[in-house]
């Protein structure tokens, strides 16, 4: 491959190095042929893990809680399946698809208002369709801050709670947003005598709140959520790059040292970028801003070129040296630009970046944008042939983290270059802290969450270069170290048996039986994931390449292309598709 392709490869991830934006906001994930009827629904990537198209009879857009109750009652009276749709459905798995083919979608896109702010108690109540960006802004306007949040602010409050979404912290209540919920209102089906739908108000002491805080959307529609916040504060962050030789010792410790700590591991480089990030007094100078490059809009032309280059690099006779150089150049470019952090909202002049919580906790300017005819877009927008990737995220108990890191390093040491396409070639592996939760589907123990994104082909069953490395790590984390898949990320096999690792799953299911006895908010996918009916695995030709199964037979890989089902290199119990040269 030509050296001249290298700059283009920087954008393999869709990293926007230009700031041209007036960009196109993301596509609607619900599309109907006949007004609000005869619809399809997908996720923000335009493709669920099984690549199937999800059909729904129709969609409604309630603007008030009364309209929401009416929508649930109408479907419940007809015993019709239903599902909440958010504006952009960022979850990777098939969570936003209603059961059957003729369900109703209830969109929360227009339920996006602030209901009430109680400044004295520092409580804020919002409608569930509010996007995180607007929530953070509304809180800040009242002098309040949500201490932890996902790093991308395009997610909705209802959706991010449903999947247990988090930032990173072991301090205070921890990294997960649901820890800050002190009440909510949820609309559930009801008997005819009660009008087919009711609003249930759950206060802080209601045990059902532990079910509703992280619900996968199967209990009903959350209408409003009340959070307990903190006075707006400032933080000071610095990225510290170190050799990874003592990473196994540092991995659990780092989170106890800094309130907003995280780590990004670049296995091929043998480096860890430690995020040293703490609260500081509000009088500390600085007006820093997070506008992460990976969540900025990028010129479509560059995204398309980057994808083409990435596809070339997937060819198995292409060259590791070039791939690794590209990965290294990308990492150093991001590092030089401080990942998109600035000290004053304009330029980066050096660490530490000091700023108010609401300006540095999350970003996502690619969603802000007016239409520009798709000249620019979010990197993952399916309307252009840009970035298309898998996103795996799984947490393991913090106590297991040193052993998992040591095992991953053993795999790496066999041949570091294997990581250039899958891990270093993207963002590296991001490790974040989440505390044990009382939520029935939250983390049972203090945990560390490992997040990776990697290449996905547009064509079913196409082998991915060095797929065996990432697949072995995922199986090792899930099976050897008791890993739990993020509910809103991952490929099918990661959910196989996951529910058995939640000690309070039975409590969750009994609330579900009370709230929605006919399973109207349940789907094939949620039944498979919750262990109610069927398996999340789809076993067929090529399934292991797609992550729909763990291979047990060569046909689950691509034997005709030299990919066979083999043991892992370090974790021998893993079964992964490996390229075997003749
Ligand atoms: C670019 C990007 C960055 C991300 N960053 C992070 C991160 O930093 N940390 C992290 O933990 N995760 C992250 N995620 C994953 C994200 O948290 C989940 O995918 C989240 O569920 C998406 O929220 P959403 O509003 O798009 O919900 P959707 O994906 O649309 O919905 C998820 C589920 O919730 C249900 N639901 C939604 N609203 C309601 C409601 N009001 N009542 C009942 N059920 C409801 C839906 O029916 C569905 O079943 C990221 C995802 C993307 C695409
Ligand atoms: C419903 O939509 C599909 C495409 O998703 C289309 O082929 C079909 O004709 C539509 N049916 C009606 C009745 O409009
Ligand atoms: C949705 O479709 C179903 C089945 O066709 C129908 O009974 C119902 O009235 C429709 N609801 C709305 C809000 O259009
Ligand atoms: C709610 O969404 C509408 C568009 O659907 C938007 O115009 C409005 O600004 C949003 N309101 C808030 C408070 O974010
Ligand atoms: C890989 O590419 C590099 C740089 O272009 C070149 O020096 C090297 O010889 C190539 N290696 C192989 C095995 O083709
Ligand atoms: C994306 O690529 C596919 C296959 O190469 C092609 O069929 C499709 O038209 C392209 N889409 C766009 C928007 O360019």
Query: H/E/C letters for each residue in 269-291?
Result: CCEEEEEEEEEECCCCCCCCEEC
Q: Is 385 in the pocket of ligand 6 (CB under 6 A)?
A: yes
Confidence of residue 21 (pLDDT cuts 50, 70, 90): very low
Give residue 24's pLDDT. 65
Residue 410 has pLDDT above 70, yes or no: yes
Q: Is 318 in the pocket of ligand 6 (CB under 6 A)?
A: no
**The CATH number of domain 30-107, selected from 3.40.30.10, 3.30.43.10, 3.60.70.12, 1.25.40.10:** 3.30.43.10
Residues 6 or more apart whose CB falls under 8 angstroms from that of 503 comprise: 444
Give residue 3's pLDDT. 41
Mean pLDDT of 105-116: 98
CA of 112 to the centre of ligand 4 (A): 6
CA separation for the pair 27, 353 (Å, rounded): 33
**The CATH number of domain 236-284+294-340+375-500, selected from 3.30.450.40, 3.30.300.30, 1.10.1740.10, 3.40.462.10:** 3.40.462.10
515-560 confidence digits (pLDDT tens): 999 999 999 999 999 999 999 999 999 999 999 999 999 999 999 9
Beta strands at 376-377 and 298-299: parallel, antiparallel or unpaired: antiparallel
Counting every residue, how long is the chain? 582
Q: Which two three-digit tokens encode residue 184?
A: 């909510």
Is 43 within 8 Å of 344 (Cβ atoms)? no
Domain spans of the chain? 30-107, 236-284+294-340+375-500, 543-579
Which of 309-323, 371-385, 560-574 has the largest mean confidence?
560-574
479-499 confidence digits (pLDDT tens): 999 999 999 999 999 999 999
Mean pLDDT of 141-166: 98
Q: Which residues line ligand 2 (CB under 6 A)?
A: 33-34, 38, 40
Q: Is 537 in the pocket of ligand 1 (CB under 6 A)?
A: no
CA separation for the pair 300, 385 (Å, rounded): 9
Q: Nearest residue CA, atom 10 of ligand 4?
A: 112
Q: Is 128 in the pocket of ligand 4 (CB under 6 A)?
A: no
Mean pLDDT of 565-571: 98
Q: Dihedral (C-alpha) 526, 530, 532, 534: value to the nearest 10 degrees?
A: 70
pTM score of the predicted model = 0.95
Q: What percent of the chain has pLDDT over 70?
A: 95
Work out which ligand 2 atom sits closest to the CA atom of 33: 2
Beta strands at 289-290 and 197-202: parallel, antiparallel or unpaired: unpaired
Give residue 26's pLDDT. 75
CA separation for the pair 254, 265 (Å, rounded): 13
Residue 16 has pLDDT above 60, yes or no: no
CA of 105 to the centre of ligand 2 (A): 17
Work out which ligand 4 atom sits closest to the CA atom of 87: 5
- For residue 100, give the ligand nearest its CA: 3
CA of 88 to the centre of ligand 4 (A): 14
Residue 18 has pLDDT above 60, yes or no: no
Residue 370 has pLDDT above 80, yes or no: no
């Amino acid at each position: 491959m030509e050296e001249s392709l290298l700059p283009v490869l920087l954008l393999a991830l869709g990293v926007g190095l230009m700031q041209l934006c007036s960009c196109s906001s993301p596509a609607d994930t619900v599309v109907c042929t006949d007004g609000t009827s005869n619809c399809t629904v997908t996720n923000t990537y335009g493709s669920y893990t099984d690549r199937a198209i999800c059909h729904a009879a129709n969609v409604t857009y309630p603007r008030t809680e009364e309209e929401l109750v009416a929508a649930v009652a109408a479907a419940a009276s007809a015993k019709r399946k239903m599902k909440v749709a958010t504006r952009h459905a960022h979850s990777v798995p098939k969570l936003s698809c209603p059961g059957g083919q003729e369900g109703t979608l209830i969109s929360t896109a227009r339920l996006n208002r602030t209901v009430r702010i109680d400044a004295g108690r520092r409580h804020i109540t919002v409608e569930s369709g509010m996007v995180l960006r607007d929530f953070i802004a509304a809180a800040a306007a009242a002098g309040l801050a949500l201490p932890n949040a996902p790093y991308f602010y395009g997610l909705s409050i209802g959706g991010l709670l449903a999947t247990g979404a988090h930032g990173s912290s072991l301090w205070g209540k921890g990294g997960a947003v649901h820890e800050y919920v002190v009440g909510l209102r949820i609309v559930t089906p009801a008997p005819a005598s009660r009008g087919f739908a009711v609003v249930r108000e759950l206060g802080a002491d209601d045990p059902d709140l532990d079910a509703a805080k992280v619900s996968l959307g199967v209990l009903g529609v959350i209408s409003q959520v009340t959070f307990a916040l903190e006075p707006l504060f400032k933080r000071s962050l610095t990225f510290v790059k170190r050799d990874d030789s003592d990473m196994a010792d540092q991995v659990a410790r780092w989170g106890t040292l800094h309130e907003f700590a995280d780590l990004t591991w670049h296995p091929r480089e043998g480096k860890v970028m430690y995020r040293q990030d703490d609260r500081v007094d509000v009088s500390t100078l600085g007006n820093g801003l997070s506008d992460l490059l990976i969540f900025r809009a990028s010129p479509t032309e560059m995204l398309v070129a980057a994808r083409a280059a990435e596809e070339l690099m997937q060819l198995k006779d292409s060259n590791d040296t070039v791939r690794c150089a590209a990965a290294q150049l990308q990492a150093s470019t991001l590092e030089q630009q401080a990942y998109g952090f600035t000290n004053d909202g304009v330029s980066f002049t050096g660490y530490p970046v000091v700023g108010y919580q609401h300006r540095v906790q999350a970003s996502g300017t690619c969603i802000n944008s007016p239409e520009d005819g798709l000249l620019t877009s979010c990197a993952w927008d399916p309307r252009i042939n840009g970035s298309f990737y898998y996103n795996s995220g799984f947490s393991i108990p913090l106590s297991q983290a040193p052993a998992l890191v040591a095992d991953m390093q053993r795999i790496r040491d066999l041949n570091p270059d294997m990581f250039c396409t899958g891990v270093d070639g993207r963002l590296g592996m991001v490790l974040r802290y989440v505390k044990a939760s009382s939520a029935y589907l939250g983390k049972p123990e203090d945990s560390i969450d490992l997040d990776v994104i990697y290449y996905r082909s547009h064509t079913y069953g196409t082998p991915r270069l060095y797929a065996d490395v990432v697949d072995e790590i995922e199986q090792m984390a899930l099976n050897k170290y008791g890993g739990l898949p993020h509910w809103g990320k991952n490929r099918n096999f990661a959910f196989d048996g996951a529910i058995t690792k939640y000690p309070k799953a039975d409590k969750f299911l009994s609330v579900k039986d009370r709230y929605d006895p006919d399973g109207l908010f349940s789907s094939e996918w949620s039944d498979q994931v919750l262990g109610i009916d069927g398996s999340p695995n789809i076993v067929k030709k090529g399934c292991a390449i797609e992550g729909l199964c763990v291979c047990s037979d060569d046909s689950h890989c691509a034997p005709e292309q030299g990919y066979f089902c083999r043991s892992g290199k370090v974790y021998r119990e893993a079964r992964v598709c490996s390229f075997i040269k003749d």
